[in-house]
Structure 1
Amino acid sequence: MQLTIATWNINSLRLRQAHLHKLVAELSPDVICLQETKVPDELFPEGIAQAINFPHVLKRGMKGYNGVAILSRLPLTLAENTPDWCGKSDCRHLSAEVATGGAPVTVHNFYVPAGGDIPDRTQNEKFAHKLDFLAETTAHFAKYPPRRAVLVGDLNIAPLEHDVWSHKQLLGVVSHTPVEVEGLNAWMAQGWHDAVRHFVPPAEKLYTWWSYRNRDWAASDRGRRLDHIWVTQDLSAELKSYKILREARSWEQPSDHVPVAVTLSV
């Protein structure tokens, strides 16, 4: 069986839910992981999942910001005992087992803190929170090594030189600083494999996010790869294809992130 998993920071589900029709048409996913849904569970727009024929829905949301959701064509079982990262209960992680007909695949959907503007933990509590979040996820997966799992989401870090439009100019900018990259790499080293860079050489530019501040985002192309899909080492040989839906950045009222998908045999 082949399984296609898509991830997208939708930046308000209620505002952009109609775009899920386009996402499904372009990527044909079996599972959709959303971040920044910005909606409490009681107000979640269940109708959109029905409209795109994704009958299985899990969500963890709050009013106004953060929030994650998993929509699936295949049955889902919620992972109940996921950590409360940094003790904040701020709806940044949702995990579930996906029924594949054989051994299930665990999907982790993460929204890592953005970290504010100042890359200094003593001057910026948001940056300290981001670094602490990375440390906790790294320690967790070191203690519980993942198997048959896929981790997706807006991880808010562009780790490689060519994951940003200018490595030199962004070394001091939050999302590409050495301390963040070190933290993300330590997390990935706990049994994970970068599924998109599996297909795209590190020397090739690759982005999933373009700032709203760039009026003509396509012409300036000052992007960053903030959205990631990782698979466990036992699934790395099963990777078949990937797609970054760059054209989504030009949809009406777009998110500043675009969907990313990976297909693998399970």
Structure 2
Amino acid sequence: MRFTVTTWNINSVRLRIDQVLRFLAEEQPDVLCLQETKCPDDAFPLKALRGSGYEHVVFAGQKGYNGVAILSRHPLLGRDVMAFCERADARHISAVLGPEAGKAAGLVLHDFYVPAGGDVPDVGLNPKFAHKIDFLDALRAWGGRRVSGPAILVGDLNVAPLEHDVWSHKQLLDVVSHTPVETERLETLRGEAGWIDAARLLTPEPEKIYTWWSYRSPDWAAANKGRRLDHAWVSPDLAGTVRGVSVARHARGWERPSDHVPVTLALDL
């Protein structure tokens, strides 16, 4: 059974609902996990998404920022939202695939949106960066207790952890998302909990992988100064089922795009 999960920081689901519907129609993943939906729950475009064939939807939103959602072609059991750093930010949601999902039944899906951290990589000078580091520490404390049984963790983790996850390792060492204080934390929490980085399982370094290109670049495609901020991790018992991780780079060229593109994990269950 081929099973696919896509993660995508959509940067406003209402603004880019046509792009979401286009992607679902063209690619038809089993599950789509969105981040930065930027709308409260009562404004979430549920009808349009269900009308596209994804009848099973769970979401947690906030007005104007954050927000996460899971859309599924298969029934979902429950909805769990965790708060980190004593903040009620909508940065996590999880659900379990129901028995109608065949061999994927019982699979736990986690969708995360880690704080971006602002522009200054100094916890003393930048409260946003301090919050990001606190969030990563809290995620580390959570992660080691949660990988038990088949599970997938996806999302915009806002860290490019490896040397070839950025266009220039040397030039970005003091740039938020690739600083050692961030990259070491992310890799430590992943390793301690046993999560497998699916993209790098099949495409090891030194091959470059990017999932994000800045709006600040006047010609993002030609410059190609990307970073791998969007991740798909699997529990150890799923490592042998990973068959691909694809990056929909072409979506960055759509009209009024998100600066992130969809990343799809494919498993043979």
Same fold (TM over 0.5): yes
Tell me which amino acid in the other structure corresponds to 1:53: G
Is 1:264 the counterpart of 2:267? The answer is: yes
Is 1:191 the counterpart of 2:190? The answer is: no
Contact 1:4–1:264 (CA<8 Å) still a contact in 2? Answer: yes
Match of 1:201 in 2: 204
Report the alpha carbon displacement of residue 223 of structure 1 after superposing the two structures with TM.
0.4
For 1:120-175, what per-residue CA distance to the aligned partner results, in whole angstroms no more than 9, with x for missing partners? 11111111111111111111122333420000000000011111011000000000
Match of 2:251 in 1: 248
Tell me which amino acid in the other structure corresponds to 2:82: P
Q: Distance in 2 between matches of 1:8 and 1:186?
A: 24
Match of 2:35 in 1: 35
2:161 to 136, 159, 162: 159
Q: Distance in 1 between matches of 2:209 and 2:146?
A: 31
Contact 1:38–1:64 (CA<8 Å) still a contact in 2? Answer: yes
Contact 1:20–1:52 (CA<8 Å) still a contact in 2? Answer: no
Report the alpha carbon displacement of residue 98 of structure 1 after superposing the two structures with TM.
1.3
Partner SS for 1:86: coil
Contact 1:18–1:48 (CA<8 Å) still a contact in 2? Answer: no
Match of 1:104 in 2: 106
> How many residue pairs end up in the alignment?
265
1:109-128 residue pairs with structure 2 within 5 A? 109-128=111-130
Q: Distance in 2 between matches of 1:134 and 1:31?
A: 25
For 1:208-260, what per-residue CA distance to the aligned partner results, in whole angstroms no more than 9, with x for missing partners? 00000111100000000000000011100011122100000000110000000
Q: Distance in 2 between matches of 1:20 and 1:209?
A: 17
Report the alpha carbon displacement of residue 79 of structure 1 after superposing the two structures with TM.
4.0
Is 1:73 the counterpart of 2:76? The answer is: no
Report the alpha carbon displacement of residue 48 of structure 1 after superposing the two structures with TM.
2.0
TM-score (norm 1): 0.96
Match of 2:184 in 1: 182
Contact 2:195–2:235 (CA<8 Å) still a contact in 1? Answer: yes
For 1:9-67, what per-residue CA distance to the aligned partner results, in whole angstroms no more than 9, with x for missing partners? 00000000111232124432000000000010011111221231000010100100000
Q: Distance in 1 between matches of 2:146 and 2:214?
A: 36
Cα distance change of structure 1 residues 27 and 179 upon mapping to structure 2, 3 Å threshold: same
Q: Gaps (5+ residues) in structure 1? A: none
Is 1:89 the counterpart of 2:91? The answer is: no
For 1:168-223, what per-residue CA distance to the aligned partner results, in whole angstroms no more than 9, with x for missing partners? 00000000000100110112111200011122121011100000011110000000
Partner SS for 2:171: helix
Contact 1:146–1:191 (CA<8 Å) still a contact in 2? Answer: no
Q: Gaps (5+ residues) in structure 2? A: none
Q: Distance in 1 between matches of 2:180 and 2:71?
A: 34
1:129-148 residue pairs with structure 2 within 5 A? 129-148=131-150
TM-score (norm 2): 0.95
Contact 2:83–2:91 (CA<8 Å) still a contact in 1? Answer: no
Tell me which amino acid in the other structure corresponds to 2:70: I
Q: Distance in 1 between matches of 2:264 and 2:147?
A: 24
For 1:84-130, what per-residue CA distance to the aligned partner results, in whole angstroms no more than 9, with x for missing partners? 10011110000110122244110000000001111111111111111
